[in-house]
Chain A
Amino acid sequence: MMDFATSAWARFFVLALVGSLMVAAATRPALAQDLLPPAPYAYKQLEEPALEAKAQALMETLRCLKCQSQAISDSDAPMAGDMRHQVRTRIAAGEEPEAIRTWLVERYGDYVSYAPQNKPIMWPLFAAPLVILLLAALLLRGRFRRDPKDSGK
């Protein structure tokens, strides 16, 4: 009885495994990315360490548009690789990191940059801590004031 049970389970697992492999094989082309090798500077650092450091610092603050919670420096998406290639070649050509950021923001909007921009839309964010502190002070004001009736004691 036990043998039958185990062998039935074993058969079930083997079937499930084979089945999922077949499904994986069948859907692979659908999930496939391109077959091209990565862009020259997608994974290759710049020869000049100072320039590479500049590029790296910028790439860590640019959003990967395919995998939107990652920076292009963290992502293995082909498009992130192409964007790293773009950043590195532009840095190597002498462009300033902030100019490259501006160039990308022109194309994708502020969303592409993780670095906060000094724009009116950011003001509520910077004002919020002050407003909350003021509000807290206002609410707590009564608590710290001496009760006039207690003053005699």
Chain B
Amino acid sequence: MTEAVAKRPSLAMWLPLALFGAFFVLVIWGLVRPADREVASAFIGKPLPQFALEAATQDRPGLSTADFKTGKPKLLNVFASWCVPCAVEAPTLDALAKRGVDIQGVAIRDRSEDLARFLATNGNPFTRIGKDDVSQVQVGIGSSGVPETFVIDGNGVIRYQHIGEIRPEDIDLILRKLAEAGQ
């Protein structure tokens, strides 16, 4: 009886080992692969939701959906004075503003005195800053953190999302996305 089995070694015998091997590779791949915890917005290509935010500071007006429907692409920067990477990206935003980019700010859960101090320290590249105390615009456009920057075309449609701070090496990319949105 055992001889009969030994005469035809079955390939199926290796199946459990092969399955285990495949599972092992999957686990190792999951461990080694760099973790990507960022949630990209699924709202790219869709129009901005309706909103009208009050002014977050005294020297800049508030922000509403209508401010984006001017025919010219703009940046919508989601930021906060309590957010450290936002201070890191401030010089880059300044550089973009100096190159003629219109940057609209949405201040998330911010107090006006903190925001005024932040802008005095880090510069103020914004043409308007809306006050979003309950993250309604942030959730409305699928943003899940600060800072995030969205390219909005002249019709108020979201065209591109940049997650995290804009670094000097990202300037060309942002300018290109703005140009694409302007076509």
Residues 79-120 of chain B: 1 if any A CB is under 8 Å from the residue's CB, otherwise 0?
010101000000000000000000000001111001000000
Tell me if A82 is interfacial: C-beta within 8 Å of chain B: yes
Number of B residues with CB within 8 Å of any CB on chain A: 29
Tell me if A70 is interfacial: C-beta within 8 Å of chain B: no
Tell me if A1 is interfacial: C-beta within 8 Å of chain B: no
Tell me if B155 is interfacial: C-beta within 8 Å of chain A: no
Alpha-carbon separation in the docked complex, A101 to B107 (Å): 25
Alpha-carbon separation in the docked complex, A135 to B19 (Å): 12
Q: Are B108 and A34 in contact (CB under 8 A)?
A: yes
For A105, list chain B residues within 8 Å (CB): 42
Tell me if B21 is interfacial: C-beta within 8 Å of chain A: no
Q: Are A65 and B144 in contact (CB under 8 A)?
A: yes
Tell me if B27 is interfacial: C-beta within 8 Å of chain A: no
User: Contacts A34-B110, A78-B109, A82-B139: A139 and B15 contacting too (C-beta < 8 A)?
Assistant: yes
Interface size class of A (residues with CB under 8 A): 20 to 34
Alpha-carbon separation in the docked complex, A35 to B117 (Å): 14
Residues 27-71 of chain B: 1 if any A CB is under 8 Å from the residue's CB, otherwise 0?
000000000010111110010000000000000000000000000
Q: Residue of A at shortest CB range from B133?
A: A36
Alpha-carbon separation in the docked complex, A139 to B134 (Å): 58
Alpha-carbon separation in the docked complex, A36 to B135 (Å): 12
Alpha-carbon separation in the docked complex, A106 to B110 (Å): 27
Minimum distance in angstroms from B85 CB to a CB of chain A: 10
Q: Are A35 and B114 in contact (CB under 8 A)?
A: yes
Alpha-carbon separation in the docked complex, A135 to B16 (Å): 11
Q: Are B82 and A86 in contact (CB under 8 A)?
A: no
Tell me if A3 is interfacial: C-beta within 8 Å of chain B: no
Given A34-B109, A108-B39, 7 extra CB contacts under 8 A = A34-B82, A36-B110, A36-B133, A107-B140, A108-B142, A112-B39, A139-B15
